[in-house]
A and B are shown apart, each in its own frame.
Chain A
Amino acid sequence: MSSMDTSNLTIETLKQMFAVGRRFDGRSIEDFRDLKVSLDVSNKAEGSARVLLGKTEVIVGVKLQIGAPYPDSPNKGNLMVSGDMLPLASPRFENGPPGFVAIELPRLVDRAIRESKVIDLEKLNVVPGEKVWTVIVDIYPLNDDGNLIDAATIGALVALKNTNLPGLDKDNKIDYDIKSKDKLPLSKEVQNPVSVSFFKLGDSIIVDPTREEEEACEVRVTWGISKWNKQYMINSCQKSGKTPFTQAEIEKMMVLLPKKYDELNEKLKKFL
């Protein structure tokens, strides 16, 4: 299990199978794995979720703090997303300074959530110009079996949707003994930002790879997508890897993307 390298033979076999639309686990190359979501992973977090995408498992917790606003947005709350690639989750993760994956993953989740404007940051104002809520989303993979980014974005979304603001005392300091029923303010115009990553091997484009498939692929592109006033909106995108995408491939993804968005939303419905 903990062997690190995908053999050339496996890569070659995968390439041939993808070319005819097949995979080792019987899915089509455009299928996601089973999605399971559970809530309240940790009762000390203001909101939390556990996401299982096939064997990929990620937990996400939301904490809230009172802090100073940024000078360029004095009346808006702040959003921070961080992630830690725990060595617990994969033989590929190591302790020490963050590698590129550990830098990229939280930044991509951050942009998918932030750019969709699903969190109404203007309502996170406590004392205008002085005190605002800072929403901190922490992502921890527990088992990396591929496509961590899409799983992490779902986790962040579900955790945020189930976040309660902590109570404040008369000096606007957090008091965890005061129970509050205030939900994190979310925008009514924006529907469920998620991310959909496409991976390329040879001439094939696949979604939701297992770790083995992901290692075999040459390049990934992750699209953050939501609905804004009932219209599909791409909010973020990043290509990661050396191999280029052709214009035709990008155009094909644009047809597939809304379908994958609807599919993920259908799967998410019963958990939200």
Chain B
Amino acid sequence: MASFKRHDGRSLTDMRPMTAKVGVVPNADGSAMFAFGNTIAIAAVYGPRLLHPQHMQDPATGILRVNYDLLSFSVADRKKPGPSRRSQEISKMTEWALAPVLDLEAFPNTVIDVQVYIIQADAGTRTAGINAASLALAHAGIPMKNLVCSVAIGKQDTNIIVDLDKEEEDFEDGEGATDFPLAKIANTDQFTLIQLDGKIPPQRVKEVLDIANKSCEEIYEVQKKALKELVE
């Protein structure tokens, strides 16, 4: 559909401008900021440290514990502070998106705490959060097999588009809007986050995954650059 235009002039496969910065929370063992356009996430890592209470410790492995939430003023209608069912679900999804790249068994009895907060939300907060958290873990010097890259592919009516903003997510005509957040281990075929809301025929999922692969390559470059800036 050649006539289809995105409201901000991006091409179908363009992500919003990305910004990444490492070391934004001096107190943390590792920290990072990652932004997709107007969506800004910060992440801080504390640990590995001894897990308390002691009965929760696992002598076979360390534990990754993620806490994701929106700051109260990050959205149009103020978000009541404190965990919601949504934020608890996203925390768990983020945990599972990141865990496969960590060798947690090297740190028995410990916990690695990852705190992810959204300062400004314009859709794609969980994916920005995962990108920030992945950077923060690397910054903390925790041994990682690879970085995790995350992007939301979406669909507006029948057009597959990359990295939807809030206006695109609220689209209602035709097949409506679909939000398909994904995360993968960089440069592999391993998907660590798969979520979806909306309407998409099964035969179009391959197309989405292929586009996600391309987008994640770009995200990986941005992440690598942010980590390198630290040494320079």
Contact = CB atoms under 8 A, between A and B. Distances in A.
Interface of A: 100, 103-104, 107, 111, 115, 221, 223, 225, 228, 231-248, 250-251, 254-255, 257-258
Interface in B58-97: 85, 88-89, 92-93, 95-96
B99 A239 contact: no
Interface of B: 85, 88-89, 92-93, 95-96, 99-100, 175, 180, 184-185, 189-203, 205-206, 209, 213
A233 B196 contact: no
Contact of A243 (B100, B189, B205): B100
Given A100-B92, A241-B96, A228 B199 contact: yes
Most A CB contacts (10 A, CB to CB) among B175, B180, B195, B196 go to: B196
6 contacts: A232-B201, A233-B201, A236-B197, A239-B194, A242-B96, A247-B191
B202 A254 contact: yes
Contacts of A237: 180, 194-196
Given A103-B89, A257-B202, A244 B191 contact: yes
Contact of A250 (B89, B199, B205): B205
A232 B189 contact: no
A235 B213 CA distance: 22
B100 A251 contact: no
A255 B196 CA distance: 18
Contact of A244 (B88, B100, B175, B206): B100
B205 A244 contact: no
Contact of A254 (B175, B185, B196, B206): B206
Contacts of A254: 202-203, 205-206
Nearest to A256: B202
A179 B132 CA distance: 56
Contact of B197 (A104, A115, A248): A115
B181 to A, nearest CB: 10
Contacts of B213: 247
A250 B209 contact: yes
B191 A246 contact: yes
Contacts of B201: 231-234
B27 to A, nearest CB: 28
Contacts of B191: 239, 244-247, 250
Nearest to B192: A244
B100 A115 contact: no
Contacts of A251: 205-206, 209
B197 A250 contact: no
A59 to B, nearest CB: 22
A111 B206 contact: no
Contact of B200 (A233, A238, A241, A255): A233
Contacts of A104: 89, 92
A236 B200 CA distance: 9
Nearest to B170: A72
Given A238-B195, A251-B206, 13 more contacts: A100-B88, A103-B89, A115-B199, A231-B201, A234-B196, A234-B200, A240-B92, A242-B96, A244-B190, A244-B191, A247-B189, A247-B191, A247-B213
Nearest to A258: B202
A135 B35 CA distance: 38
B7 to A, nearest CB: 19
Nearest to B213: A247
A242 B202 contact: no
